[in-house]
Amino acid sequence: MSQILEVLYNKKPCYNIIIENSFIKLSEEIEKLDTINKKICIITDSIVGSLYLEEVLSFLKPICQNVVSFTFQSGEERKNLTTVNNIYRFLIEQKFDRKDMLVALGGGVVGDMTGFAAATYLRGIDYIQIPTSLLAQVDSSIGGKTGVDFEQYKNMVGAFKMPRLVYINVHTLSTLEERQFYNGFAEAMKHGIIKDSMYYEWLISNMYEICDREEDVLEELIFRSCQIKKAVVEKDPLEQGDRALLNFGHTVGHAIEKYKNFTLLHGECVALGCIVSAFISWKKQLLSMDEYYEIRDMFVPFNLPISIEDINIDDIIDITKSDKKMEHGQMKFILLKKLGKAVIDTSVTEDELRAGTEEIIYRDEMD
């Protein structure tokens, strides 16, 4: 069954999110963007390219005069300006001009970097997202946040650039590694926790079907997460206010990600960050103790960590304070008023952050 969501920008229709279980409707959807006289460059990584590039090419070639592809080695460490330079060079060699279009085929790394290349090449050309990881399908492909990492700083250089279309083929999740699958699930869980307690309950009650990757359940999960993300980005497309709610768990999550030198996945760090924020919310008497423990323990069946070894709390605090989420010298935290209702908070003290971080340090119960 196919699902469509229309995303507005400044209250006007901007792009559609199409949720399908194959690539069959891809030609039809892309054709609506008047592609016959355009050149298209599919940008993908080595893993996704080897699995899906040929199939996607077979749907694009009949509807477009000239389709080329650019593949880079998969991995977050390639999400940098060097890869973007290589993309620019390739587009210049292929004589891409402003009416031409890029297609991001892959996870969040491909999507963020293709979007950034599209935002900056010739001061901006169109691009389409074909997200293939769960993280990209429920989160990163929607909302137009693009960018790359710079030196050790994550997503430090970027731009807002809305895609022309997001085409999700849920079936691609069948080839995703287990750890990557749960990595993306953390963002879906976050959506329920910050915005929709009914969705959160639905995720919990469909735990087995989700872990078995039953396609109709995944389709619903992606649809409901996309609805939440769509509502947030429509209200605040350039993150001047409420869009920051999506950063729940990310302030400390990013610090852990950096401290661990990106050996843990983004969603794993977000799960830990969510626990710290939920703990602080409990201690500030915004959330009940039961709600805190429920949130913490519900990451476990989805193979996400709730504690971590070998971290230095002072370092985590220092990194958190140097994060770009600081506002006028104050840490900007997203806390919970209750399950399904997140709020922006700038009153979290260093002691509260320390207590929250201590909560996720691994303790051997035998000690």
**Residue of 195, 250, 258, 296 marked catalytic:** 250
Residue with tokens 């749907």: 59
Identify whether 266 is a catalytic site residue. Answer: yes
Handedness of CA 189, 192, 195, 197 (dihedral sign): negative
In the complex with ligand NAD, which residue's Cβ is closer, 83 or 180? Answer: 180
Q: Which residues contact 92 (CB under 8 A, 6 or more apart)?
A: none
**Residue of 187, 219, 268, 352 marked catalytic:** 187
Q: Which residues bind ligand NAD (CB under 6 A)?
A: 45, 47-48, 51, 74, 76, 79, 106-110, 112, 132-133, 135-136, 139-140, 143, 145, 155, 172, 175-176, 180, 183, 266
Q: Give me the least distance between CB of 180 and ligand NAD, in Å please.
A: 5
Q: Which residues contact 366 (CB under 8 A, 6 or more apart)?
A: none
Identify whether 247 is a catalytic site residue. Answer: yes
In the complex with ligand NAD, which residue's Cβ is closer, 74 or 320? Answer: 74
Query: Which two three-digit tokens encode residue 254?
Result: 């990013």
Q: Give me the least distance between CB of 238 and ligand NAD, in Å please.
A: 13
Identify whether 191 is a catalytic site residue. Answer: no
Distance of alpha carbon 325 from alpha carbon 348, whole angstroms: 13
Identify whether 363 is a catalytic site residue. Answer: no
**Residue of 247, 268, 291, 359 marked catalytic:** 247
Identify whether 171 is a catalytic site residue. Answer: no
**Residue of 31, 239, 294, 354 marked catalytic:** 239
In the complex with ligand NAD, which residue's Cβ is closer, 38 or 250? Answer: 250
In sequence order, the β-bridge partners of residue 15 are 7
Identify whether 123 is a catalytic site residue. Answer: yes
Q: Give me the least distance between CB of 103 and ligand NAD, in Å please.
A: 15
Q: Which residues contact 230 (CB under 8 A, 6 or more apart)?
A: 5, 7, 17, 142
Residue with tokens 């990757």: 213
10 Å Cβ neighbour count for 212? Answer: 11
> Mind telling me the catalytic residues?
123, 145, 187, 229, 239, 243, 247, 250, 254, 266
